[in-house]
């Protein structure tokens, strides 16, 4: 267990370094609301500290509250993002002092906590996994805010492997049962549980996410102006948004350009398309004669090992993600080229299912059979229903600590500011 505590301490340090790196800008950048879709960056910074205080210090450690008067301010369920600038939020310097004070006490709780306790909040360090993943998710939200801000120079970039997307465009997944969800991952969220068997008919699924070149073909074929490809809800969104291409794209002089963290550059044809909402993904799939995969189809193609008859933690197996298998952890502020990670292929041959872009599925966010809320209803249960679509796989901005084959993300189908793409599927008769 000492090894596990060392790992947890290292993860806590890494995620906090990341949060602080994303909030190194001038105070005006941190306190301003760059979009009504997002919180001020400084709200996110103090919120992760308050969440850590609530769960590690108070719930797991039994420590007297440090700043109970700010609990309401940083309750994400009470205050929509558009309203948060009007709250008496902590300024940048005070927010940094607060989260630093919380963190010092968190390490004391870690040192004293029995990770073999039968208490599910303590066992295997679940409460620490909860706050580590939560902070990484807010870091990804901060990156989306920084992208919306349009300010250059705030986000690093880096090299990625080149791609070679030759070979079959689709992979075949035969009919049969598989185990969906998890009952073994110690840090899995309640919505990933319990593991249960799902029977699926045969289908084909794209080997790669849909790339920019393919999406440009849809745009230039009049895809945004042809009602045949859009659902009634999608047409309504199209009229209200006025969208004619993915978010941050423009066309000048016969060339498609994108703005990425304040830098304008030609749209690279070989990268997965990014910043498209569910309605756009659905319309493209219809235009291509396909559909979006269901959440179950996506997970089976990603993580099921038919030879072993069991689920893998990652497409390639149970070994943690490394730079040779997936584009995660903000190694670069963009998706990798298609075909960059053949070593990360699933048992069925699907590639880049982890990292690069979150992938929209055709499924609404619903509980699994036998679902039980833990440790609080507001993490998952209050979002179930026909309002949020499920996303899978993680993006280049997601950290490996918060990514696995069973991880479920969800958002409104109109969302485009997040790092989202998709791949398509189609039914196949069993041969």
- In angstroms, the CA 329 to CA 401 distance is 9
Fold entry, domain 2-149: 1.20.120
- Kindly state the percentage of the chain with pLDDT values over 70: 99
34, 141 Cβ separation under 8 angstroms: no
Residue-wise pLDDT for 162-175, tens only, equals: 998 888 999 999 99
3-state secondary structure 284-331: HHHHCCCECCCHHHHHHHHHEECCCCEECCECCECCCCCCCCCECCCC
Q: Check whether 424 has a pLDDT greater than 90.
A: yes
Mean pLDDT computed over every residue of the chain: 96
Take residue 262 and report the two structure tokens written for it: 């304040």
The alpha carbon of 106 is separated from its chain's Cα centroid by a whole number of angstroms, namely: 26
Domain 170-431 bears CATH identifier 3.10.20.30: no
- In angstroms, the CA 382 to CA 372 distance is 12
Average of per-residue pLDDT across 335-350: 98
159, 173 Cβ separation under 8 angstroms: no
* Helices 92-112/41-52 angle, 10° precision: 20
Confidence (pTM): 0.96
128: three-class secondary structure by DSSP: helix
Residue-wise pLDDT for 101-128, tens only, equals: 999 999 999 999 999 999 999 999 999 9
Contacts for 188 with CB less than 8 Å, ≥ 6 apart: 182, 404, 406, 407
Handedness of CA 351, 354, 360, 363 (dihedral sign): positive
- pLDDT at position 431, please? 46
How do strand 249-252 and strand 255-260 relate by DSSP bridges? Answer: antiparallel
Closest-CA residue to 145 (of 328, 419, 334, 420): 419
Split at pLDDT 50, 70, 90, the class of 430 is low
- In angstroms, the CA 109 to CA 112 distance is 5
Closest-CA residue to 362 (of 278, 302, 299): 278
The domain ranges of the chain are 2-149, 170-431
Average of per-residue pLDDT across 224-249: 98
Residue-wise pLDDT for 13-47, tens only, equals: 999 999 999 999 899 999 999 998 899 999 999 99
């Amino acid at each position: 267990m000492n090894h596990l505590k060392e790992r947890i301490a290292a993860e806590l340090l890494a995620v906090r370094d990341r949060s602080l790196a994303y909030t190194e800008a001038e105070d005006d950048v941190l306190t301003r609301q760059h979009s009504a879709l997002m919180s001020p960056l400084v709200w996110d910074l103090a919120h992760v500290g308050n969440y850590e205080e609530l769960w590690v210090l108070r719930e797991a450690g039994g420590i007297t509250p440090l700043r109970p008067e700010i609990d309401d301010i940083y309750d994400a369920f009470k205050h929509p993002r558009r309203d948060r600038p009007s709250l008496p939020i902590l300024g940048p310097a005070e927010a940094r002092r607060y989260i630093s004070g919380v963190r010092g006490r968190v390490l004391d709780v870690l040192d004293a906590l029995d990770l073999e306790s039968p208490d599910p909040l303590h066992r295997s360090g679940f409460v620490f996994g909860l706050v580590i993943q939560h902070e990484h998710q807010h870091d990804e939200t901060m990156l989306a805010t920084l992208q919306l801000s349009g300010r250059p120079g705030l986000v690093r970039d880096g090299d990625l492997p080149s791609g070679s997307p030759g070979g079959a465009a689709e992979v075949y997944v035969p009919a049969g049962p598989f185990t969906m969800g998890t009952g073994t991952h110690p840090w899995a969220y309640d919505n990933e549980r319990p593991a249960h068997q799902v029977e699926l008919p045969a289908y084909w699924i794209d080997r790669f996410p849909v790339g920019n070149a393919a999406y440009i073909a849809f745009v230039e074929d009049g895809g945004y102006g042809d009602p045949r490809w859009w659902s009634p809800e999608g047409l309504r969104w199209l009229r209200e948004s006025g969208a004619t291409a993915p978010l941050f794209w423009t066309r000048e002089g016969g060339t498609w350009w994108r703005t990425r963290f304040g830098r304008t550059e030609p749209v690279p044809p070989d990268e997965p398309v990014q910043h498209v909402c569910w309605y756009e993904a659905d319309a493209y799939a219809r235009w291509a004669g396909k559909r979006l995969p269901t959440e179950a189809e996506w997970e089976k193609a990603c993580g099921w090992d038919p030879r072993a008859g069991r689920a893998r933690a990652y497409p390639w197996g149970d070994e943690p993600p490394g730079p040779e298998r997936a584009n995660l952890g903000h190694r670069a502020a963009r998706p990798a080229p298609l075909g960059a990670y053949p070593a990360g292929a699933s048992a069925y041959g699907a590639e880049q299912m982890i990292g690069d872009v979150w992938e929209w599925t055709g499924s609404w966010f619903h509980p699994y059979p036998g679902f039980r809320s833990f440790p609080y209803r507001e993490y998952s249960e209050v979002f179930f229903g026909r309002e949020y679509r499920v996303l899978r796989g993680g993006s280049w901005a997601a950290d490996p600590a918060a990514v696995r084959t069973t991880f479920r993300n969800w958002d409104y189908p109109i969302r485009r500011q997040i790092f989202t793409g998709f791949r398509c599927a189609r039914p196949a008769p069993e041969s």
